[in-house]
A and B are shown apart, each in its own frame.
Chain A
Amino acid sequence: MTKSASVEIDTKLLPGRCLVDTGVLIRAMGQFEDETAGLCQAFFDAMVKSKNKRMYVAAPTVAEMLRGNPQPLPRTRSLVVVSFDNSAAELLGTEIPVRVLKELRANTGLSLSYLKYDAMIVACAKRWNVECIVALDTDHVVLATHVNMPVNHPRDFIHRQTRLQLVEIAANSDS
């Protein structure tokens, strides 16, 4: 078990290989504070500290993160940047065709250009054969079903006892 920002992560629940979405990763970097930032940092720290766990970051996610002074990407054991390559492109074109994206645009009101970006991240997850995508928003859930890819929220890895305590705190604050 590892503890970070008052959130305990159960390392036994962590995936062996996952693709981390932009929202989770930006929050995990520690410069941003909101209600899920502590959870994202705890998840990230737990993955880094665990042996034989690996986080993949899709190249399009790196593009989203880069805002400032471009620096060479660290090359480390636990976090691997994976490319959107030929295989990922074929996978995207055949398994998440534009028809699916247009349906999603009609249902969500999100722009097609944004959805294409998101679909590229999901295609990377499938192409690099991860166990799940770790994301906070709902968009990946819909797209990921097209490639049979589970999507987990970082809270899915919270230690059970902590989770119960959080539920209790939430219930008490409601009453």
Chain B
Amino acid sequence: MSQWFRALYPPVARQCPLLPDTVLPVARGRISQSAELSWEIRGAGVRPERFDVPAALGAATAYLALLQRVAEIRNERLCFTGMRIEPGSVAFKFQVDEPVIARTVAKDAKEYLEGRRLPPRGVTTRVREVHSWVERLPEGYTAHVRVANFESEVARRGQNQMGPRAEWVELRIIVMRVGGKPPKLAAFNEVEGGFTCAISEEQQAQAIARNLYREVDMSAEIVRDIDGKIVDGTLISFHEIDEIEGEAEADAWRAWFSEAGGDWDEVEDIEVELERSRIIS
């Protein structure tokens, strides 16, 4: 088992390098109930002899990798060292060396998967992988996890998530298209990608349309989906960009600073003034 397990999901195997290469699963019910993490696929028509095996196993291993990463964040170590399948079901029973830790991190993972808490550094990717695998399960299938008195359905992306969030942004965009009734702006930003937003006044639409395929700075109230993509918005205002280049552009900034930063003339040491460390000369 361990060889296919390593091949299918290297992160899980990496955290437990002492996994023997010989066959590990304890398939005759010798693992105590308290030392197992159960991963079960439920749904109409799910039968042991008929289910999407790659999707079920892929989702399970992505989930185990998520738990291990969350354990790492908590400075804990979690190993899954065996597996059996509950007879008559699509329930994988993974032997876990630290069931109490497994329960704690499973609770954390639930909140990350449901979008109730922001995942810490390094966990976001694992959360996305679980979502990605769970989404591959056929319609009507659900994944359920149980460990040491904790039981939960594994959330699909968007399920139980906090709703779309609105915010005010200021972005340098390229005006890609303006049109429609009511008028809409199609914009592109280097980081945000392409998005559209409403323009509340016809006059504003005409003004920004004069900048077609040019860059402008826009202020907008936008709405992001749970993945952070801009899905809606309203243009508040925009400013055209000065079409100056090279020396003229440098001069414009220096002229600005000579006024706006004029008091820096009196400063002898920039780093001392900014309370920075010494510079690397």
Nearest CB of chain A from residue B111's CB, rounded to whole Å: 14
Binds B, one of A5-13, A65-73, A157-165: A65-73
Q: Does B118 contact A (CB under 8 A)?
A: yes
CB <8 Å contact, A83 and B253: no
Q: Does A93 contact B (CB under 8 A)?
A: yes
Binds A, one of B13-21, B28-36, B243-251: B243-251
From B119, B191, B262, A129 is in contact (CB under 8 Å) with B191
CB <8 Å contact, B239 and A75: yes
CB <8 Å contact, A73 and B264: no
Q: Is the interface of B mostly helix, strand, loop or mixed?
A: mixed
From A31, A75, A79, A90, B265 is in contact (CB under 8 Å) with A31
CB <8 Å contact, B257 and A65: yes
Residue-wise, chain B 149-180 has the 8 Å CB interface mask toward A (1 for contact) of: 00000000000000001011110100000000
CB <8 Å contact, A67 and B256: no
Nearest CB of chain B from residue A71's CB, rounded to whole Å: 4
Q: Does A172 contact B (CB under 8 A)?
A: no
Give the size of the chain B interface in residues (CB under 8 angstroms). 50
CB <8 Å contact, A67 and B263: yes
Q: Given A68-B259, A69-B259, does the pair A76, B252 have CB atoms closer than 8 Å?
A: yes
Chain B CB within 10 Å, residue with most, of A44, A74, A79: A74
From B167, B256, B275, A114 is in contact (CB under 8 Å) with B275
User: Closest 6 interchain pairs by CB?
Assistant: A68-B262, A67-B263, A29-B257, A136-B279, A71-B260, A137-B276
Interface, chain A (partner B; CB < 8 A):
17, 22-23, 26-27, 29-32, 34-36, 44-45, 48-49, 64-71, 73-80, 83, 85-87, 90, 93-95, 97, 108, 110-111, 114, 118, 127-129, 136-139, 146, 153
Interface CB pairs A-B, < 8 A, 8: A23-B274, A48-B245, A74-B253, A85-B167, A85-B168, A94-B120, A137-B278, A138-B280
Interface, chain B (partner A; CB < 8 A):
118-121, 165, 167-170, 172, 190-191, 215, 217, 228, 239-247, 249-250, 252-254, 256-265, 267, 270-271, 274-281
